[in-house]
Chain A
Amino acid sequence: MSTVISPFMGEKPLNLSVRDIIALLKDVSELMLDLGLSSIILRNEEIAEEVLKLEPIVERLLEELSLKVIVSTRSLDDARDMVPFLSIAEMIRSISNSAADIANIVLEGISKLGEIPEVVSEFEGVVTVLKVEEGSYVDGKRLDESLIETKTGLRIIAIRRGDTWIFGPEGDEVLRGGDIIVVRGYKRGLGALRDMCRTRGEDVEEAK
């Protein structure tokens, strides 16, 4: 099932179980790390920016987790049992901060730098972001109609529409011009996907 989250949902509870929140925190913080690592390998500042845009989502989820923990604590014994949750929440915040540190290195101009030592950079497969342009082939198409996965071998793991994130989008999700899609897979499918997301007739900018 896809989950839609925006950092500006205000006080409204997210209506998620503790399990859902932890599962979502797993997805979001792993995505931050994947995007951070991919931004280094692909030397891509746009990808690094998406890492920073996920930070408020992690904060929102952690806040929700803390609230649930507080609400379910009624005694000192309960409180003791809840300590692991707080520790886990703190660790997830630290993971999100480290991923942001990595992204900031890219934003500070890693493209000027030389080859990254191999011992640091061994990493297979990439996650990248693409913008759906208005009037492109996929604009207005449902994900399952777009045949993105069949044609490119890449899988859409998230969509950002303004401030709102859709994690694990379903086949009936309709792509719109301006959407930022996050895809996972291998570099070889990227060219084809780029063409599908681009308004016809524009200059083709080669991926480096």
Chain B
Amino acid sequence: MMDRTRLILDLAYSALIYKGEEIISEIINLEDSIDESLVEIFYQILEGYKQGEISRDEAYAYLTIARSLEEIADSAYVIAKNIVHGFRPHPIIKKIIEESETSITVLYIPIGSLAVNKTIEEVVENYGKGVEIIAVKTGDHWIYKPSNNFVIRENDILIVKGSEESLEEFRRIIGAEEVLEGGED
């Protein structure tokens, strides 16, 4: 839950500051999964307390932490929602986005991509000068700020930050597909 909360906050701010509306749908997915985790954590803690495995103080601490994380995720979601829905884009927001040299994009790694079975370090050094992989979704699991020796697999989803040109070149060289808004769930 910590990893996902950290990721959703980064994504929401990124959506605010950089170009890239594709990440909004990932933010919505993440918010859902964090909400589900909160429910699961509540049940686990209640059960643990009932069984006498955790003390009252512990239950209080864990619940507070989990609830705070969920609140942060909620706030991140509202930030993201403000950017795309409900309001006319304000000139300042537009200017912020247009001035930004950094973009953020969501890439899908298909079978046969050059990135498959390579570590983040190899991929970035060989094909991605100037890009930063900020998160990887592998199966249903999100990894925030993956370490250099994390191995990319087919069907993974990468969230990548960089200039628009370097992102496009990176996508082309490794043979990844852009994930369009709403196109993934």
A contact set with B: CB distance below 8 Å: 18-19, 22-23, 26, 29-30, 33-34, 37, 40, 72, 80-85, 87-88, 91-92, 94-95, 98-99, 101-102, 105, 108-110, 112-114, 116-117, 119-125, 186
Contact = CB atoms under 8 A, between A and B. Distances in A.
B87 A83 contact: yes
B90 A98 contact: no
Interface stretch (B78-86, B103-111, B112-120, B174-182): B78-86
B9 A120 contact: no
Interface of B: 1-3, 5-6, 9-10, 13, 16-17, 37, 40-41, 44-45, 48, 54-55, 57-58, 61-62, 64-66, 68-69, 71-72, 75-76, 78-79, 82-83, 86-88, 90-93, 95-96, 99, 143-147
22 contacts: A22-B17, A22-B96, A29-B9, A30-B9, A30-B10, A33-B5, A33-B9, A72-B92, A80-B88, A81-B90, A84-B83, A88-B82, A92-B79, A99-B68, A99-B72, A102-B64, A105-B64, A114-B55, A117-B41, A119-B40, A120-B62, A123-B6
Given A91-B78, A124-B147, 5 more contacts: A30-B6, A72-B92, A84-B83, A108-B61, A121-B1
Contacts of A92: 75, 79
A87 B78 contact: yes
A95 B72 contact: yes
Contact of B6 (A34, A94, A108, A109): A34
A84 B62 contact: no
A80 B147 CA distance: 43
Contacts of A95: 9, 71-72, 75-76
**What are the 7 closest A-B residue pairs judged by CB atoms, nearest first?**
A123-B2, A91-B75, A98-B68, A26-B13, A81-B90, A84-B82, A101-B68
A114 B16 contact: no
A148 B57 CA distance: 39
